[in-house]
């Protein structure tokens, strides 16, 4: 067998290469070349068209969207915190303001004491027991917690323990001087009430987390107190840092307006002190004092007890949440004998009685199936209208009001707007109750009990409004606290109220017309009733409100409380309402104590002394001169309430 020569194999490979080179070097056919050129050109044109479409889409169709994205990458919008407006009383005393406060957090996992504190630890505390060591130094600064209780709190978790929501500057400074790692002071704006509990029932409070009003003026006048928010648009660089120089100086400016109230702070404090004194003496459940200017409706004082500190509202226990409402406007009660002057005015205005009308009071009277009597069951013989008020005769009042037909009496009660709100600029006002016309006129019983102030209900502020009509000549004025917004020069300002905020001062002002201040009885009738009420203080159950040298009118009330349609044995609201001064009537002063439990608890013994003290403070505050002798004669005697 013959083997192939290696030279012949090599020759075949060389021959193959020469053939391939010849093929590659052969010029292409003209048609093939043309197709290739068209293909390349087509690809190029399609690419240009796609690019053009994309540019058109980006520049025209998607311009706004892409511009917004680019803008957002280079701009940031901030909404800085804007402080709420300050609330002041009629003399500019601050009742509520925003200020920087400090919240204290503890992070036990990071506790570390400086060496000087370690060296000064008592022997009973090991330096390694950090929660106990921190509690030892921190508790005396906080002041309202023991080291043991604070230590328990610090052992609760490793981090994020809220110790205090708000600390004053003195405590903040003392905590910083400790230089303890793991204690964190967070600075933030907070609402502060410098008067503490002196005005809480009026101002209410602002909740710390959302900084919105939750009670009182803070809630009802949110649209006046909350300034308009500010939005800042700032540019930033590629790293996200805000570029300097693009924030104008006036961008963070806001108005200097304050919300001024008609409240007289010193009078408010005096009224609270007088009320607390009598509540403690007679062990009353709660109490209220109201001072209103009967000509304008301005409230100079509105006190409710018990009360709370709005700076520490979170410390109020659930069973005491009732303190957050102002029961002078939110709770109804039967006014009792304090309603008798109103009924007398209605009868006088109807012309069915005169000041000289007399009735015989044997001590009790039969009305339908019921025998009704005076509070003590005793008779008073033949007495005139002033005498009926002076001795607070239920039997006498029943006979006076029987001169009115039941329908006419009902119409006149309705004219008092008992079932309509007074319009006071506080939240939560409820309206009084009056039996239906059908029930009222069906039997003589309802008219009889209404004649001495039972069977119907009002709020304390409504009763004050009604007596204001006696003081001012027969007109119902709107009780209110808000005087308005004023700038630092004392110039009044206005804002557009938000419809969703209840009881806005502007809303009330916009809807107040002459028709909403109705004349419920004539000036002559009002004057006549005033003179009768003066005898109650001079010679009747209101003697404990008497002040030498001053003419005072008033009416006591001791009304039995009802629940679920039944009167509660032994449960009474004692009250006294006063109009002052009689010769130039301007102020209505009302005081009530709910469920006093001590013996001899009546309107004349419990509430009248409160009004006496408030009137004395009012005389000083308003510089009211006496109109008679200021020394009580030695032979003067007191009438039992």
Note the pLDDT of residue 242. 59
Q: How far apart are CA 569 and CA 531, in angstroms?
A: 35
- Do 325 and 456 sit in the same domain of this protein? yes
Q: Which of 229, 196, 193, 188 is nearest to 213 (CA)?
A: 193
Identify the helix (H) or strand (E) that includes residue 49. Answer: helix 30-56
Q: For residues 69 and 141, which has the higher predicted lDDT (pLDDT)?
A: 141
- Please check whether residue 495 lies inside any domain of the structure: no
pTM: 0.81
Note the pLDDT of residue 7. 56
Q: Phi/psi at 616 (nearest 5 deg)?
A: -60, -40
Q: How far apart are CA 379 and CA 575, in angstroms?
A: 23
Total domains in the fold of the chain: 2
**Two structure tokens written together for 150:** 């604070």
Q: Which of 194, 107, 191 is nearest to 157 (CA)?
A: 107
Q: Which of 554, 552, 531 is nearest to 542 (CA)?
A: 554
Among 181, 201, 221, the domain boundary falls at 181
Is the pLDDT confidence value at 56 over 90?
no
**Two structure tokens written together for 519:** 């004349």
- Do 284 and 135 sit in the same domain of this protein? no
**Two structure tokens written together for 458:** 């009002």
**Two structure tokens written together for 354:** 């005169």
- Please check whether residue 250 lies inside any domain of the structure: no
Q: Which of 484, 479, 423, 618 is nearest to 88 (CA)?
A: 484
**Two structure tokens written together for 474:** 């027969």
Note the pLDDT of residue 199. 98
Residue 463 maps to which CATH number? 3.40.710.10
Q: Phi/psi at 103 (nearest 5 deg)?
A: -100, 135
Q: How far apart are CA 276 and CA 278, in angstroms?
A: 6
Note the pLDDT of residue 239. 62
**Two structure tokens written together for 485:** 């917004």
Mean pLDDT score across all residues of the chain? 88
Q: Which of 550, 591, 549, 576 is nearest to 291 (CA)?
A: 591
Note the pLDDT of residue 79. 66
Note the pLDDT of residue 245. 58
- Do 145 and 283 sit in the same domain of this protein? no
- Do 404 and 537 sit in the same domain of this protein? yes
Note the pLDDT of residue 68. 64
Among 138, 153, 181, the domain boundary falls at 181
**Two structure tokens written together for 591:** 């005081």
Percent of the chain with pLDDT over 70: 84
Q: Which residues 6+ apart lie within 8 Å of 216 measured at CB?
A: 200, 201, 202, 203, 204, 205, 326, 426, 427
DSSP per-residue letters across 520-559: -S-HHHHHHHHHHHHHHHHHSTTGGG--TT---EEEEEEE
Task: Kindly report which listed range (67-81, 93-107, 613-627) carries the lowest average pLDDT score.
Answer: 67-81
Mean pLDDT, residues 460-471 taken together: 99
The 10 Å Cβ neighbour count of residue 229 is: 10
Note the pLDDT of residue 429. 98
Q: For residues 170 and 234, which has the higher predicted lDDT (pLDDT)?
A: 170
Which positions are annotated as active-site residues? 337
| The dihedral sign for the CA sequence 467, 472, 473, 474 | negative
- Please check whether residue 190 lies inside any domain of the structure: no
**Two structure tokens written together for 113:** 């004491």
pLDDT grade for 636, boundaries at 50, 70 and 90:
very low
- Please check whether residue 226 lies inside any domain of the structure: no
Residue carrying structure tokens 């009003």 = 213
- Do 151 and 271 sit in the same domain of this protein? no
- Please check whether residue 186 lies inside any domain of the structure: no
Q: How far apart are CA 193 and CA 216, in angstroms?
A: 13
pLDDT grade for 619, boundaries at 50, 70 and 90:
very high
**Two structure tokens written together for 607:** 């509430």
Task: Kindly report which listed range (14-18, 281-285, 553-557) carries the lowest average pLDDT score.
Answer: 14-18
Note the pLDDT of residue 498. 43
- Do 383 and 275 sit in the same domain of this protein? yes
In 32-85, which ranges are E strands?
A: 75-78
Q: Which residues 6+ apart lie within 8 Å of 81 measured at CB?
A: 189, 211
Q: For residues 535 and 228, which has the higher predicted lDDT (pLDDT)?
A: 535
Q: Give the domain extent around 348.
A: 267-312+320-478+517-622
Note the pLDDT of residue 47. 80
Report pLDDT digits (tens) over 473-519. Answer: 999 999 999 999 999 999 998 865 443 344 444 344 444 443 478 99
Mean pLDDT, residues 221-249 taken together: 71
pLDDT grade for 637, boundaries at 50, 70 and 90:
very low
Is the pLDDT confidence value at 10 over 80?
no
- How many degrees, rounded to 5, is the angle at CA 591 between CA 587 and CA 597? 165
DSSP lists the bridge partners of residue 293 as 587
Q: Coil, helix or strand for 158?
A: coil
- Please check whether residue 628 lies inside any domain of the structure: no
DSSP lists the bridge partners of residue 186 as 103
Is the pLDDT confidence value at 179 over 70?
yes
- Do 154 and 271 sit in the same domain of this protein? no
DSSP lists the bridge partners of residue 566 as 563
Q: How far apart are CA 519 and CA 469, in angstroms?
A: 8
pLDDT grade for 34, boundaries at 50, 70 and 90:
confident
- Please check whether residue 257 lies inside any domain of the structure: no
- Do 291 and 401 sit in the same domain of this protein? yes
Q: Which residues 6+ apart lie within 8 Å of 316 measured at CB?
A: 308, 323, 324
Q: Coil, helix or strand for 219?
A: helix
Report pLDDT digits (tens) over 305-328. Answer: 999 999 999 889 999 999 999 999
The 10 Å Cβ neighbour count of residue 569 is: 7
pLDDT grade for 232, boundaries at 50, 70 and 90:
low
Q: How far apart are CA 196 and CA 308, in angstroms?
A: 8
- Please check whether residue 413 lies inside any domain of the structure: yes
- Do 354 and 470 sit in the same domain of this protein? yes
Mean pLDDT, residues 267-273 taken together: 99
- Do 164 and 291 sit in the same domain of this protein? no
- Do 307 and 176 sit in the same domain of this protein? no
End-to-end Cα spacing for the chain:
156
Among 149, 181, 213, the domain boundary falls at 181
Is the pLDDT confidence value at 24 over 60?
yes
Report pLDDT digits (tens) over 361-388. Answer: 999 999 999 999 999 999 999 999 999 9
Q: For residues 54 and 471, which has the higher predicted lDDT (pLDDT)?
A: 471
Cβ pair 535, 389 in contact under 8 A: yes
Report pLDDT digits (tens) over 82-133. Answer: 899 999 999 999 999 999 889 999 999 999 999 999 999 999 999 999 999 9
Note the pLDDT of residue 380. 96
Percent of the chain with pLDDT over 90: 71
């Amino acid at each position: 067998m013959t083997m192939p020569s290696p030279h012949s194999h090599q020759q075949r490979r060389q021959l193959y290469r020469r053939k391939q080179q010849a093929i590659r070097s052969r010029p292409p056919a003209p048609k093939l070349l043309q197709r290739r050129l068209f293909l390349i050109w087509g690809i190029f044109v399609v690419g240009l068209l796609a690019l053009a479409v994309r540019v058109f889409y980006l520049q025209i169709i998607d311009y706004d969207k892409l511009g917004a994205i680019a803008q957002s990458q280079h701009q940031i919008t901030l909404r800085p915190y804007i402080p709420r407006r300050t609330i002041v009383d009629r003399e500019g005393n601050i009742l509520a303001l925003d200020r920087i406060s400090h919240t204290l957090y503890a992070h036990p996992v990071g506790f570390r004491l400086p060496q000087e504190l370690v060296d000064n630890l008592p022997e009973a505390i090991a330096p390694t027991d950090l929660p106990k060591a921190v509690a030892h130094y921190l508790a005396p600064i906080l002041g309202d917690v023991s080291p043991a209780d604070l230590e328990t709190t610090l052992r609760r978790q490793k981090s994020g323990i809220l110790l205090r929501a708000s600390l004053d500057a003195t405590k903040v400074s003392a905590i910083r001087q400790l230089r303890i790692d793991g204690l964190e002071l967070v600075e933030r704006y907070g609402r502060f009430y410098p008067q503490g509990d002196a005005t809480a029932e009026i101002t209410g409070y602002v909740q710390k987390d959302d900084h919105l009003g939750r009670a009182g003026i803070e809630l009802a006048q949110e649209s006046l107190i909350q300034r308009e928010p500010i939005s800042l648009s700032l540019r930033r660089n590629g790293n996200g840092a805000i570029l300097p120089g693009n924030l104008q100086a006036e961008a963070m400016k806001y108005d200097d307006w304050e919300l001024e109230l008609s409240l007289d702070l010193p009078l408010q404090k005096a009224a609270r002190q007088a009320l607390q004194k009598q509540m403690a003496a007679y062990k009353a459940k709660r109490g209220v004092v109201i001072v209103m200017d009967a000509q304008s409706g301005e409230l100079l004082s509105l006190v409710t007890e018990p009360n709370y500190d709005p700076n520490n509202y979170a410390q109020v226990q659930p069973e005491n949440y009732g303190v957050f409402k102002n029961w002078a406007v939110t709770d109804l009660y039967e006014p009792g004998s304090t309603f008798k002057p109103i009924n007398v005015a209605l009868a006088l205005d109807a012309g069915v009685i005169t000041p000289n009308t007399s009735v015989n009071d044997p001590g009790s009277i039969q009305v339908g199936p019921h025998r009704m009597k005076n509070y003590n069951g005793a008779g008073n013989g033949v007495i005139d209208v002033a005498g009926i008020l002076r001795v607070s005769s239920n039997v006498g009042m029943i006979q006076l009001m029987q001169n009115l037909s039941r329908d006419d009496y009902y119409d006149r009660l309705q004219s008092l707007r008992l079932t309509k709100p007074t319009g006071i600029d506080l939240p939560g006002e409820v309206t009084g109750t009056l039996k239906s016309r059908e029930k009222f006129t069906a039997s003589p019983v309802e008219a009889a009990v209404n004649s001495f102030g039972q069977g119907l209900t009002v709020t304390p502020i409504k009763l004050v409004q009604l007596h204001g009509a006696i003081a001012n000549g027969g007109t119902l004025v709107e009780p209110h606290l808000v005087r308005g917004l004023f700038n630092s020069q004392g110039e009044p300002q206005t804002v557009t109220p938000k419809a969703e905020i209840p009881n806005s001062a502007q809303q009330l002002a916009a809807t107040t017309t002459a028709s909403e201040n109705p004349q419920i009885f004539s000036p002559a009738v009002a004057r006549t009733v005033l003179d009768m009420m003066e005898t109650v203080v001079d010679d009747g159950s209101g003697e404990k409100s008497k002040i030498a040298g001053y003419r005072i009118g008033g009416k006591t009330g001791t009304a039995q409380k009802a629940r679920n349609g039944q009167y509660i044995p032994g449960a009474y609201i004692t009250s006294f309402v006063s109009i002052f001064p009689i010769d130039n009537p301007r102020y209505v002063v009302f005081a009530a104590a709910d469920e006093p439990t001590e013996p001899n608890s009546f309107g004349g013994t419990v509430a009248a002394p409160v009004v006496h003290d408030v009137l004395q403070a009012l005389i000083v505050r308003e510089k009211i001169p006496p109109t008679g002798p200021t020394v009580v004669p030695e032979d003067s005697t007191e009438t039992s309430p």
